[in-house]
């Protein structure tokens, strides 16, 4: 197993709360390149995509004694989004890296994973302003991937994403409800896209 270096441990030591982890993620450059790198790679390179951000957040939370849990937010005509979920006093919250400002931190005030996920619904939209969130997974523990040295390996860890995609997902809305969805409010769209990196945007198709 590849252990964290002293400097890496010191950095993780400073990320004591979920909000401090979120601030750290916000300072990372958004990485639009394909692949899934480990938290160590992200810390060294200073950039991450949403999945890598969730892995780093989970590693930081685990460093301070929390379970390393991630949840998949599955979309249509858009990229999926992955969040690192945590609980405080029985309520769920989340830390996340995103190209959209509206898909990041959530305070631990939600009574269930579904409630937490639904807090993203009206703010989860593609580059055309179409609301795209459709399903969510149950929380997946990253503890099962310790044999991969997922926190510190220099190898690609896309296997974790494959496993997340395969676990049970729950629908949020049905086809009839999806057809009735309005485009996102213009001001919310502008706020969400405030710092978006164009290269990292999903090339959404317009509805017929």
The model's pLDDT over 91-102, given as tens digits with 9 standing for 90+, comes to 999 999 999 999
Say what the pLDDT of residue 208 is.
Answer: 45
User: CA nearest 164: which of 40, 87, 69?
Assistant: 69
C-alpha pair distances (Å), 18 with each of 36, 59, 195? 22, 11, 22
Could you tell me the pTM of the whole model? 0.95
Tokens found for residue 12: 């993780």
pLDDT at 69 over 50: yes
Tokens found for residue 57: 């957040």
For the chain, the average pLDDT equals 96
C-alpha pair distances (Å), 144 with each of 67, 149, 164, 200? 12, 10, 12, 29
- Between CA 194 and CA 58 the distance in angstroms is 26
pLDDT at 56 over 80: yes
- Percent of the chain surpassing pLDDT 90: 94
Residue 197, burial from CB neighbour count under 10 angstroms (0-12, 13-18, 19+): exposed
**For residue 206, what pLDDT band results from cuts at 50, 70 and 90?**
confident
């Amino acid at each position: 197993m590849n252990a964290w270096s002293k400097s890496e441990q010191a950095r993780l030591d400073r990320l004591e709360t979920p909000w401090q982890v979120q601030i750290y993620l916000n300072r990372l450059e958004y990485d639009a390149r394909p692949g899934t790198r480990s938290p160590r790679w992200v810390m060294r390179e200073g950039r991450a995509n949403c999945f890598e951000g969730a892995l780093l957040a989970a590693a930081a939370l685990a460093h301070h004694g929390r379970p390393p849990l991630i949840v998949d937010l599955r979309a249509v005509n858009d990229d999926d989004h992955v969040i690192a979920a945590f609980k405080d006093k029985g309520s769920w919250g989340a830390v996340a890296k995103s190209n959209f400002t509206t898909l990041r931190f959530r305070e631990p005030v939600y009574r269930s994973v579904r409630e937490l996920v639904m807090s993203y619904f009206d703010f989860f939209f593609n580059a055309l302003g179409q609301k795209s969130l459709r399903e969510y997974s149950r929380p997946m523990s990253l503890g099962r991937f310790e044999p991969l040295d997922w926190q510190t390996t220099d190898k690609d860890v896309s296997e974790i994403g494959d496993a997340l995609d395969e676990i049970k997902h729950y629908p949020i809305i049905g086809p009839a409800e999806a057809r009735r969805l309005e485009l996102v409010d213009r001001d919310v769209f502008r706020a969400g896209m405030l710092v978006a990196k164009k290269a990292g945007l999903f090339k959404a198709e317009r509805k017929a």
